[in-house]
Amino acid sequence: MIDDGICASATWDKNGITVAGGNEYGSQLNQLDHPYGLFVDDNAAVYIADAYNSRIVKWALICSDMSSPYVAEI
């Protein structure tokens, strides 16, 4: 059994927000080019290794209702 930190009875919001995707490959902050891995920190910020852009992208929420993602290149 793999322990990925997600509860077996977890549920997902059907009305989630898309912060990247559907925009083709690219180097804008709402685009990725061959994402290779991701990490979620204790504050729920998501870090994505964007291989072909040679960068790490951080997505963090600035509102508790999850309506305003903050996206930055690190």
CB atoms < 10 A from the CB of 53, how many?
A: 18
Contact 41, 5 (CB under 8 A): no
Is residue 24 one of the residues assigned to a domain? no
Is residue 20 one of the residues assigned to a domain? no
pLDDT at 52 over 90: yes
Number of domains in the chain: 1
Is residue 12 one of the residues assigned to a domain? no
Predicted confidence (pLDDT) per residue in 7-35, tens digit: 666 676 777 666 666 678 888 877 889 98
Is residue 3 one of the residues assigned to a domain? no
Is residue 59 one of the residues assigned to a domain? yes
How far CA 68 is from CA of 5, 16, 52, 60, 64, in Å, comes to 25, 12, 27, 9, 9
pTM above 0.75, yes or no: no
Percent of the chain with pLDDT over 70: 55
Is residue 60 one of the residues assigned to a domain? yes
